[in-house]
Amino acid sequence: MRNSSKAVIIRDDKLLTIKLHENDKTYYILPGGGQKPGENLHQTLERECMEEVGAKITIGEL
């Protein structure tokens, strides 16, 4: 089991998702991913958003 973090990114009243095609199905996921050793969850989310959508993010309160 591994911790992960996901981002809810909203701009102009639109939610950012990643569109995936797998096994003849299409589905959408939120940007984010698994925590690496030594990272806190904020660092994980910042890294994953940069890798997946090329976005530097500001993390707000939960």
pLDDT digits (tens, 9 = 90+) for 16-44: 999 999 999 999 999 999 999 999 999 99
Chain centroid to CA 55? 10
pTM: 0.82
How do residues 47-57 score in pLDDT, each as one tens digit? 999 999 998 99
Q: Residues 20, 25, 28, 29: is their CA dihedral positive or negative?
A: negative
Q: 51 CB contacts (<8 Å, ≥6 apart)?
A: 33
Contacts (Cβ under 8 Å, ≥6 apart) of 59: 42, 45, 46
User: Residue 25: inside a domain, yes or no?
Assistant: yes
Q: Determine, yes or no, domain membership for 58.
A: no
Total structural domains in the chain?
Answer: 1
Query: Could you tell me if residue 15 is inside a domain?
Result: yes
pLDDT at 62 over 80: no
- Kindly state whether residue 31 falls inside one of the protein's structural domains: yes
pLDDT value of residue 46: 96
Do the Cβ atoms of 23 and 40 come closer than 8 Å?
no
Could you tell me the residue range of the domain that residue 43 belongs to? 4-53
In a domain, 27, yes or no: yes
Residue 61, in any domain of the structure: no
